[in-house]
Amino acid sequence: MCGIAGFINYAGTDIKEGEHTLNRMLSRIQHRGPDETGLYLSPKACIGNVRLSIIDLSGGQQPMATVDGTKWIAYNGEVFNYPELRSELISLGHKFKTKSDTEVVLHLYEEYGDKCLSRLNGQFAFAIYDQKSEELFLARDRVGIRPLYYHHNGNRLVFGSEIKSVFEYPGIERQLSPQGLQQIFTFWTTLTPNTIFEGIKELSPGHYLKFINGKVETKSYWNLSFAKKNGMFKGSIDEAAEDLRYLFNDAVKLRLRADVQVAAYLSGGLDSSVTTSFIKSIRPDVLNTFSIGFADKTYDETKFQKEVSSYLNTNHNSITVFDADIPNLISKVIWHTEVPVLRTSPLPMMKLSGLVRENGIKVVITGEGADEILGGYNIFKETVIRNFWARQSKSKIRPALLKKLYPYIPQIADASPAMLRMFFGYQLENTASPVYSHLLRWNNSSRILNHLSADMKQHTAIKDPIGEYANTIEDAVSGYSPLEKAQYIETNVFMSGYLLSSQGDRMAMGNSVEGRYPFLDHRIIEFAATLPDEYKLNGLNEKYILKYMMRGKLPQSVLKRPKQAYRAPIATALLKNSTGMVEEMLSEKRLKESGVFNPETVGRLIEKIKKGAMPSEVENMTVIGVLSTHLLIKQFIDDFEYLDYRHIRNGVVRNKVKK
């Protein structure tokens, strides 16, 4: 895995100045690629790469050129089917100088243009500059595993794997986007191409961008699409399980391709246990597994992690997260997320990836994606129950089913029927809404907006983010079942925008570790989208086909264990162990200086929690949201300074090409 950055300016760039700027941009993301650095420099375009060497360790330096030297690529990612593609290209007359997947992607683009993207099985973001046409081509993988941001201003386009890299380009303003902030405090993430910063765009998953003569054109090459009646899988559950087993085995096998050691995350839940089981069946030798434990037993799954590790005979490594770690980690985490967060879940992931790196490992396979594509989340069950309840909206028995979903949230587990109705009854009968499944969640999250300052409210009140998003997907989800609609939203919004970013790529790459996701092989996603609902969510039995497929392959305690959401200590732990930084970021002075939040309402909430009151889920999210927003402002707006790359990298560039 790597980091990429660059810019194209049709007005022309002094090469020496361009080199200095590009080096600063790459220095900002050196954590993504500490092994090697490379630059391509010309009067019109400068592109570069920092490399984490995983495939073809001795070759594969970037930027890399075609044989005729007219096309140059800077590439971040892995294309797992590159050997097969390489053989195909050789049969078509292409000649290769390396054994890297980077060169395969470049030749594939040379052969097929933007149509090459549909042939790639992997996780990637890359830039290709064509010297002849002076066109820049940017592309991102189907579900957004790897990030890519850009800024466009007239004849100039600046891009990078991370926003901090783009900000190293002179003259780009750093300013919070009220619309982006409103989306985060509603959806938990911005909606692409929006970001939290004005003027910075994110290339949407499954999209490519062309920039030529000052004009930006973006197009989609892949979308999540559930099968209508004609495309629905019509086989038995046994046949479906066998097809899934074949696809998943191949997806894991492909993701074991590396010239370095590959490890696995093992949470103790079903998804990571399945992944680890398949790895061991493919490679029975020693497998290192890594997990998080929590000192607070409310969140701890150590017992299950040890059980699965023993069952599968892995070399297990674990690390314990203490409440005091939360305030100590959050500054580093926000620097890498580059966006405010409403949960502390990314923090333990930062600590876990650090453990992986301390053990000398660069690549880890994880189980993310299974919940989204196979119906694993409680929000899917919640949707089914609310639809069932809506048919008899006055029923006192039907809403009681919701207690079973959240035994770990006391306010719900101990709630009276009247309280359940009050909490879960929001727009209960609006089942025709394309976003019915998420109306309750987003309504609760948006209550954080009540804590915005009067000035910030003026900038956000003109938008209806939920209504706008519902309108954008109405046609796309027409004809889908309630479960399919919920899966579509959860995959496109939460998974791409938060899970694979703030909790995935950013935490792993913050420690120079690459995550790989076999459940997100596009073939598995597309297959799962053809399955009948009951193969995924059977009654209230989540991921039914996955459990069916793994009968006899995992302990019964894992297969029958209820879904436990991954959670981490929140506001109470943060405030009880608060550091000087936390106190400063939540102080009345900081609240007034930022102008984002209402000092009175936020101050009352913080005092209430400090005095021992049990915060609600929304109040927890509010405290984390305020703190992380203030940290973001401090790091990226108030205290951000251009780097002097000579002091960071000693001016060393191992692969520099000037044209």
pLDDT of residue 654: 47
Mean pLDDT of 273-289: 95
Whether the predicted pLDDT of 640 surpasses 80: yes
CA separation for the pair 68, 476 (Å, rounded): 43
Task: Give the CA radius of gyration of the chain.
Answer: 24
CA separation for the pair 67, 95 (Å, rounded): 8
Q: What percent of the chain has pLDDT over 90?
A: 76
pLDDT of residue 27: 93
Helix axes 617-633, 436-445, angle to 10 degrees: 70
3-state secondary structure of 505: helix
pLDDT of residue 58: 65
DSSP notation for 58-108? TS--SSEE-TTS-EEEEEEEEETTHHHHHHHHHHTT---S-S-HHHHHHHH
Asked which of 244-248, 617-621, 627-631 is least confident by mean pLDDT, the reply is 617-621
Enumerate long-range contacts of 602-610, CB under 8 Å, 24 or more apart. Answer: 602/451, 602/626, 605/451, 606/575, 609/571, 609/572, 609/575, 610/575
Asked which of 128-137, 237-246, 565-574 is least confident by mean pLDDT, the reply is 565-574
Mean pLDDT of 226-236: 85
Q: Distances in Å between the alpha carbon of 440 and those of 234, 428, 467, 596?
A: 33, 9, 13, 25
Q: 169-202: per-residue pLDDT in tens?
A: 999 999 999 999 999 999 999 999 999 999 999 9
Calculate the dihedral angle through the C-alpha atoms of 505, 511, 516, 517, rounding to the nearest 10 degrees: -50
Whether the predicted pLDDT of 444 surpasses 60: yes
Domain ranges of the chain: 2-223, 229-368+500-559, 374-491, 571-638
Whether the predicted pLDDT of 553 surpasses 90: yes
Q: What percent of the chain has pLDDT over 70?
A: 95
- Please confirm, yes or no, whether 2 is among the known catalytic residues: yes
> What number of other Cβ atoms are within 10 A of residue 560's Cβ?
10
> What number of other Cβ atoms are within 10 A of residue 171's Cβ?
8
Closest CA to 404 of 413, 417, 414, 416: 413
3-state secondary structure of 226: coil
Q: Which of 2, 176, 347, 415 is catalytic?
A: 2
Per-residue HEC secondary structure of 587-655 comes to CHHHHHHHCCECHHHHHHHHHHHHCCCCCCHHHHHHHHHHHHHHHHHHHHHHCCCCCCHHHHHCCCCCE
Q: How confident is the model at residue 653 (pLDDT cuts 50, 70, 90)?
A: very low
CA separation for the pair 343, 501 (Å, rounded): 13
CA separation for the pair 145, 500 (Å, rounded): 6
Average of per-residue pLDDT values in the chain: 92
Closest CA to 40 of 11, 10, 75: 75
Pick the residue with more confidence: 87 or 327?
87
Q: 27-44: per-residue pLDDT in tens?
A: 999 999 888 889 999 999
Mean pLDDT of 338-365: 95
Q: Are 495 and 519 in contact (CB under 8 A)?
A: no
- In DSSP terms, 73 is beta-bridged to 64, 128
Q: Are 463 and 179 in contact (CB under 8 A)?
A: yes
pLDDT of residue 651: 39
Q: Is the dihedral of CA 281, 264, 1, 151 positive or negative?
A: positive
CA separation for the pair 447, 621 (Å, rounded): 10
pLDDT of residue 415: 74
CA separation for the pair 180, 188 (Å, rounded): 10
Q: How confident is the model at residue 428 (pLDDT cuts 50, 70, 90)?
A: confident
Structure-token pair, residue 623: 């405290």
Whether the predicted pLDDT of 649 surpasses 60: no
Structure-token pair, residue 414: 């101990």
pLDDT of residue 186: 97
Pick the residue with more confidence: 520 or 641?
520
pLDDT of residue 521: 98
Mean pLDDT of 285-305: 90
pLDDT of residue 658: 60
pLDDT of residue 51: 84
CA separation for the pair 381, 390 (Å, rounded): 14
- Say which residues have a Cβ less than 8 Å from residue 68's Cβ, sequence separation at least 6: none
Mean pLDDT of 72-95: 96
Per-residue HEC secondary structure of 353-398 comes to HHHHHHCCCCEEECCCCHHHHHCCCHHHHHHHHHHHHHCCCCCCCH
Whether the predicted pLDDT of 493 surpasses 70: yes
- In DSSP terms, 657 is beta-bridged to 40
CA separation for the pair 122, 522 (Å, rounded): 8
CA separation for the pair 48, 7 (Å, rounded): 9
CATH of domain 229-368+500-559: 3.40.50.620
CATH of domain 2-223: 3.60.20.10
